[in-house]
Amino acid sequence: MIESVQAWFRTLADTHPKWNFIYLYDPVQTARIGEGLWMTLQLSVACVVFSVLIGVTGAWLQGSQHAAVRAFVQGYIQFFRNTPPLIQLLFFYFALGQFTPTYSPDGWLEVPIISNVGWAIISLSFFAGAFNVEIFRAGIEAIPESTREAADSLGMSRLQIYVYVVLPLAFRVSLPALNNNLVNLVKTTTQAIVIAVPELLYQLVSIYNDYSTAQNACMLLMFVVYITLVGVLVLGMNRWERALRIPGYGG
Amino acid sequence: MSSREATMNGPDWDPSQPIVSIRDVYKSFGELEVLRGVSFEVMKGEVVCIIGPSGSGKSTLIRCVNALNSIDSGSIRVEGQEVHDPDLDKLELRRKVGMVFQQYNLFPHKTAIENVMMAPVLVLKEPKGEVEARARALIRKVRLEGKEDSFPGELSGGQQQRVAIARSLAMRPDIMLFDEITAALDPETVKEVLVTIRELAEEGMTCILVTHEMGFARELANHIYFTDRGVIVEHGPPATFFTEAKDPRTREFLSQIL
């Protein structure tokens, strides 16, 4: 069965040289795609998790009593929101990467402590995190002051009020906007190609650089994978949104 | 339990002294002077009602008692402890003083029982099982048995307000503040809430109520204060307050309301 399908695509590549689905019949290319897909998934999950954590923490710090802390968060948001993520990736890897310490695993080669994958996760998480801070802030502002006051009058500390009252409510308000930003983040992981992170786009480009007839097939796969990946994310987020719905509260 | 009581009552407070003592309190919001030299005292177990027209500063006054609002000058002492001392442990104060709001302000993402349990578990760090037993008893006390697992959005206004009362009581406060707690309710449900307050008062809870329920004030209050434009214009026990008001503003207010 599999062999006859592979044979069919091999013939297709011979008869229609623009449609060489090489990754369907050449195990070496299939493995490259598999590695790229795995890297893209890891990159996406890591960046989603870290960017949400950055958003939650940043939104908490924005409510700080210290003006310096608030200014710092504001500066962070401005920097990461107002510069292109592509430039951030290049800057983190090539500029900051020069100053990070190195170590030598084999006694010969010096390797930086933070790899290009590490820099991609850091850079993209902070990029999306800046938007997440703003998204959570909007959610927090939607929570009535009186709800916070009630918690205050019960003797809860500022952190307890944030963790147990404000954030759970703000999170629900923020979910649709968060959804959008995380979709963007997953798509932006493709830009990690500029610092040679071997994610899916990197692998596909490599394949069609080696086999120019595979270009169309590679691009097609790119779309299919991303539509599926983002589709799964959106489906998950929508389910989560429904699961968090409170009876009798909100829309 | 005993260690808690030791920390609750300030060492220098003697229960024969006023539990709340307010002296010459001034408070402005920007240009607006809300309190202009208010003084009064509440003894342990007393029920005090504060009445007066809207904007007379009554809500601000009781919000100052648990430091939700700060004061500009004067002194407010709760169990002998100055509330507006910058070094005050606000959390400690708020464990002693419970507050119920006009708009209930329940936590909408928590069920009735979770609302009641939250603060004792988080703030007093009491074991969950113990708190739950107490919370169930309190929910029974405010006559909401069977509604333990309802969310606030599934309860009526009067029911929500009774959960809010139970939530405050779960912290075992020494004093309860009620800020126009029946103002957002329809007359039918007002009764349910007032029954709960009456029981509390009869059990000897110190209560300070800002209210427009004159019948209630007449029946339950030990003392009534009438405020207007940031000052106490008239006060007295209900027996004389309603019949022998001397100040023309008080008389006018009473004639409109009674």
Q: What is the DSSP string of A27-81?
A: HHHHHHHHHHHHHHHHHHHHHHHHHHHHHHHHHHHHT-S-HHHHHHHHHHHHHHH
Give phi and psi for A232, each to the nearest 5: -65, -45
Is A249 within 8 Å of B153 when comparing Cβ atoms? Answer: yes
| pLDDT reported for residue A78 | 96
Q: Tell me, what's the pLDDT at B252?
A: 83
Q: By CA distance, what is A170's nearest residue in B? A: B109
Q: Mutation test of the interface with chain B: which of A65, A149, A153, choosing the one with the most B Cβ atoms within 10 A?
A: A153
| CA distance, residue A251 to nearest chain B CA (Å) | 11
- How many other CB atoms are found less than 10 A from the CB of residue A174? 24
Q: What domains, with CATH codes, occur in chain A? A: 31-243 (1.10.3720.10)
How many Å apart are CA B151 and CA A246, to the nearest integer? 8
- Its ipTM equals 0.88
Closest residue by Cα to residue A203 from A191, A184, A218:
A218
The C-alpha of B16 sits at a distance from chain A's nearest C-alpha, in angstroms, of: 26
- Flag if B105 and A155 touch (Cβ within 8 Å): no
B123·A154 Cβ contact <8 A: yes
* Contact (CB, 8 A) for B105 and A146: yes
> A154 vs B101: CB contact, 8 Å cut-off?
no
Residues 6+ apart with CB under 8 A from A92: A119, A122, A123
Q: Give the pLDDT confidence score for residue B2 in this predicted structure.
A: 42
> Which A residues in the span 110-149 are in contact with B, Cβ-Cβ below 8 Å?
144, 146-147, 149
What pLDDT does B11 receive?
Answer: 55
* Of residues B168 and A104, more confidently modeled: B168
Residues B55 and B210: beta-carbon distance below 8 Å: no
Query: What is the distance between the alpha carbons of residues A158 and A104, in angstroms, rounded to a whole number?
Result: 46
Report chain B residues whose CB lies below 8 A from the CB of A152: 68, 94
For A165, name the nearest residue in chain B, comparing CA atoms only: B107
Query: A248 and B151: CB-CB below 8 Å?
Result: yes
From the list B56, B49, B58, B44, the residue with the least C-alpha distance to B15 is B44
The answer to whether B181 touches B100, Cβ cutoff 8 Å, is yes
Task: Please state, in angstroms and rounded to a whole number, the distance separating the CA atoms of residues A66 and A49.
Answer: 27
- CA nearest A251 in B: which residue? B153
Contact residues, chain A, for B94 at CB < 8 Å:
152-155
Q: Residue B190: its pLDDT value, please?
A: 86
* Closest C-alpha among B47, B75, B81, B61 to residue B208: B47
Environment class of A185 (CB within 10 Å of its CB; exposed 0-12, middle 13-18, buried 19+): buried
Name every residue whose Cβ is closer than 8 Å to that of residue A211 and which is 6 or more positions away in sequence.
Answer: A20, A22, A29
Give strand ranges (E) for B183-246.
206-210, 223-228, 231-236
Min Cα separation B153/chain A (Å): 4
Q: Which residue has the tokens 């909408």?
A: B108
For B101, the closest of A146, A165, A246 (CB atoms) is A146
Spell out which residues of chain A touch residue B78, defining contact as CB-CB under 8 Å. none
Task: Give B108 or A105, the one with higher predicted confidence.
Answer: B108
For residue B168, the chain A residues in CB contact (below 8 A) are 153-154
Chain B residue set in contact with A, beta carbons under 8 Å: 66, 68, 90-92, 94-95, 97-99, 101, 103, 105-109, 118-119, 122-123, 151-155, 164, 167-168, 171
Question: What tens digit of pLDDT does each residue of A123-167 get?
Answer: 999 999 999 999 999 999 999 999 999 999 999 999 999 999 999
| Encoded amino acid at B251, one letter | R
What's the rounded Cα separation, in Å, for the pair A207 and B132? 62
Choose the closest CB to B118 out of A157, A164, A247.
Answer: A164
**Both structure tokens of B132:** 């739950």
Q: Which residues contact A150 (CB under 8 A, 6 or more apart)?
A: B99, B101, B105, B106, B107, B164
- Rounded Cα gap, residues A56 and B66, in angstroms: 30
Question: Could you give the CA distance from residue A118 to residue A93 in angstroms, rounded to a whole number?
Answer: 9
Average pLDDT, chain A: 93
Residues of B in contact with A149 (CB under 8 A): 68, 101, 105
Q: Do the Cβ atoms of A247 and B168 come within 8 Å?
A: no
Does A169 touch chain B if contact means CB atoms closer than 8 Å?
yes
Q: How far is CA B181 from the centre of its chain?
A: 9
Is there a contact between A202 and A196 (Cβ–Cβ < 8 Å)? yes
Q: Which residues from B are below 8 Å from A247, CB to CB?
A: 151, 153-154
> Which chain B residues are within 8 Å of A146, Cβ to Cβ?
101, 103, 105
The tens place of each residue's pLDDT in chain B, 258 residues long, gives 444 444 444 556 788 889 999 999 999 998 899 999 999 999 999 999 999 888 888 999 999 999 999 999 999 999 989 998 888 888 889 889 999 999 999 999 999 999 999 999 999 999 999 999 999 999 999 999 999 999 999 999 999 999 999 999 999 999 999 999 988 888 888 888 888 888 998 999 999 999 888 888 888 899 999 999 899 989 999 888 888 888 888 888 888 776
Write out the two tokens for A101: 């310490």
DSSP assignment of A197-241: --SHHHHHHHHHHH-GGGHHHHHHHHHHHHHHHHHHHHHHHHHHH
Instruction: Take residue A11 and report the two structure tokens written for it.
Output: 């013939």
A161 within 8 A of A119, measured Cβ to Cβ: no
**Which chain B residues touch A150 with a CB distance below 8 Å?**
99, 101, 105-107, 164
Neighbours of A158 (CB within 10 A): 15
CA distances to A124, A186, A226, A230, B81 from A201, rounded to whole Å, are: 16, 12, 10, 15, 67
Q: Which residues contact A146 (CB under 8 A, 6 or more apart)?
A: B101, B103, B105
Res B8: pLDDT = 46
Helix (H) or strand (E) holding A7: helix A2-15
Q: What is the pLDDT, as a whole number, of residue A6?
A: 92
Cα–Cα distance measured from residue B257 to residue B252, given in angstroms and rounded to the nearest whole number: 9
pLDDT tens digits for A8-61?
Answer: 999 999 999 899 999 999 999 999 999 999 999 999 999 999 999 999 999 999
pTM: 0.85
* Closest CA in chain B for residue A248: B153
Ordered by where they begin, the domains of chain B are 16-257 (3.40.50.300)
A164 and B118 Cβ atoms separated by less than 8 Å: yes
